[in-house]
Amino acid sequence: MAAEVSGTLGPDENQHAGFRGEVKLPGDAYLANGAACDENWECYSSHCAWDFDGSGKWCAQSGYCAHDGNVSYSNGSKTCYGANILATCSNGSWSLETCSGSCSNGACVGGATPTPTPTVTPVGGGVSGGGAAGGGAGGGPGATPGISPTPTVTPSVIREIITEHTYEYTPTSQDIQNILAEAGFSTEFIERVSQQAGFLHIERTLTVEKLTNVSTGETSYQSIFTIKIVNTSADITFENITIVEYIPKEVAASASEIGSVTEFRVLKADPIIEWIIKKLAPKQTLTIEYWVNKNVDKSAFENGKTLFQASESIVIEKTASITAYIKSEKGTPIEETFYVALLDSSGKKIAEGHSKDGKITFTGLAAGSYTLQVAESTNYYGLSKSIELQRGEAKTVDLILSAKLAPSPTETITPKPAAPNYTLLIILIILAILGYLIYYYAVKKKEKKPAKWPKPKKVKRHVIKPKAEEKVEEKVAEVPKEAGQETVVRPFAHRREEKFKEGQ
């Protein structure tokens, strides 16, 4: 249950309030997972996990358990402690069970069902407290008990999430006026809250957990409130920040019921409380957690209000620039036009353009991390390059592109001949067959059909009787006779035949 600032923090910034960062720079006073620790606030993860044998504590991921510096035991992981004790990781703490037989490879073998055994806690140990003034730390680690099959134990608790609800919250002008006026803030303070609200994104989450004592079976509830505030601006840094939280009476009747690892101040016992934060940079996220030991319903939770005010707002100067020269592997400028995009540290595209004569420039940039991306072209492969830019810097970079390999000059690439297309020929053949079939059947049908002739008309026959033969006397020509010859009489027909022969 801690507050954190995710983003880039300077050395020890916000440490006085117990904040932790998700992105750290060298010099931050927080321990990485696997490091030995005494208190939760010392760890980057805000979780300092006990070993099940009580021999020490190590920083671990939230919900994970530790043993001899190994912090990879996730929720539900099991291992053996001694010959007959089974240790199970349950939401960041160990639960021990005594096997009736023996324990081997993280499981009880032989005998009856294992008997639950309370979790180990070192003698004299303590944890950090909460409360209206942040609470005081408990006792030191105390004596470390030796490893024994029968360690000194205290009751263990199993935590189970029974409900979780998240919503985005935007304070209204009426909320700002009423809550801050009730808490006694000045008009100037209230005006700054209204002005700065447009640069923030606030998310509120309620998580209700059921706590079960393994030894006694007793149950209780804890409601955890998580507030996330994001600075959505790209160039405004807020400093000397006040986070004001209005808590409904259904959640807590007074500030004494509120627990938090992060120190807070009570503005009004009803309660209204505040946290003081040193700095919130652009795109940075602030996370604060507090809790009450009861089951809070959704409606009561949504009646809570979160307000943000920074006494100083610093606008980052955007005076830096990047000029990129696009070159070949030989170092010569490439005159081909390329599409180039500029991305910020979150991977969001903030500018784009096309190169001209192998050059492109982006101006009006703030200090920070950027990425230049050159798109692939027909002849060259694309490229991505990261760049760190200082305030007011005019940086130049060379972007060397790799050319795509062209076919060898001696290699003749003969395209494969296209497969012949017989579609038209097949269509013509089918049409010809169809035409023949149509003609054939038409003729056959015509031949089979008998012709219809008209019935002949009845004609009266007249019998012509031949006349009596008439004798025709053929004239006989008389052939003159020569002297001494006899006169021969021949018909005219013979005379014509003789003349015909003479003519031949």
Residues 190 and 136 in one domain: no
Question: Is 497 part of a structural domain of the chain?
Answer: no
Query: What CATH number is given to the structural domain containing 328?
Result: 2.60.40.10
Residues paired with residue 160 on neighbouring β-strands, in sequence order: 210
From first to last of its 504 residues, what are the pLDDT tens digits of the chain?
444 444 433 333 333 333 333 333 333 345 778 888 888 877 777 888 888 877 788 888 888 998 888 888 888 888 888 777 888 998 888 888 888 778 888 888 776 554 444 444 433 333 333 333 333 333 333 333 333 344 444 447 888 999 999 999 888 888 888 888 888 888 888 888 888 888 889 999 999 999 998 888 899 999 999 999 998 887 788 888 999 999 999 999 888 899 887 788 898 887 899 999 888 888 888 888 999 999 999 999 999 999 998 887 776 666 789 999 999 998 999 988 999 999 988 888 989 999 988 999 998 887 788 999 999 999 999 999 999 988 778 899 999 999 987 655 554 556 667 778 888 889 999 999 988 888 888 777 666 656 556 666 665 665 566 555 555 455 555 555 555 555 555 555 555 555 555 555
Residue 331: give the domain boundaries: 320-400
Please give the Cα distance from 181 to 185 (Å, whole number).
Answer: 6
Computed on alpha carbons and rounded to an integer, the radius of gyration of the chain in Å comes to 55
Please give the Cα distance from 320 to 388 (Å, whole number).
Answer: 11
3-state secondary structure of 285: strand
Residue where one domain finishes, among candidates 103, 128, 154: 154
Q: Are 358 and 324 in contact (CB under 8 A)?
A: no
Residues 182 and 309 in one domain: yes
Taking CA atoms, 39 is separated from 46, 255, 304, 323, 411, in Å, by 8, 24, 30, 49, 72
Give the DSSP H or E segment for 98: strand 93-98
* DSSP letter string, 297-338: -HHHHHT-EEEEEEEEEEEPP--EEEEEEEE-TTS-B--S--
Query: What CATH number is given to the structural domain containing 208?
Result: 2.60.40.1170
CA angle 450, 454, 460 (to 5 degrees): 140
Domain count, the chain: 3
3-state secondary structure of 197: helix
Q: How many CB atoms lie within 10 A of CB 220?
A: 13
Question: Is 420 part of a structural domain of the chain?
Answer: no
